[in-house]
Amino acid sequence: MPQVIMALPSLLAGIVGGARTLPIEAETLAGALDELVRRYPALKVHLFDESGAFRQHVLCFHNEESTRWLGSLDRPLAAGDVITIMQAVSGGV
């Protein structure tokens, strides 16, 4: 099973013990995300809505390519791939 790197924003690092990157073993992008949530269940509510889709403010990239337009997260992974999770942050004065 390929080992990939999961990169998380600093806002979520506290949930995973302060790490900004985590090694994950998975065959597909969906499998990597499932493994991440299996290890750290508290992440689920921050990443996914009730239907299992990414929340609107969450972006996911596979090797710098947005997954928003893939149609499916069943994309195969290769060793060394990088999956990056980003969160939009907004606010006011």
C-alpha atoms less than 13 angstroms from C-alpha of 89 in its C-beta half-sphere: 6
Q: What is the mean pLDDT of residues 5-18?
A: 95
DSSP reduced 3-state for 58: strand
Contacts of 15 (CB under 8 A, 6+ apart): 40, 42, 43, 46
- At 14-73, the pLDDT tens digits run 999 999 999 999 999 999 999 999 999 999 999 999 999 999 999 999 999 999 887 788
Looking at residue 88, what is its pLDDT? 83
How many angstroms separate the CA atoms of 5 and 21, rounded? 6
Going by DSSP bridges, is the β-strand pair 21-25/58-62 parallel, antiparallel, or unpaired?
Answer: unpaired
The pTM for the full model equals 0.89
Query: Which domains does the chain possess?
Result: 3-87 (3.10.20.30)
Q: What is the dihedral of CA 4, 6, 47, 20, to 10 degrees?
A: 170
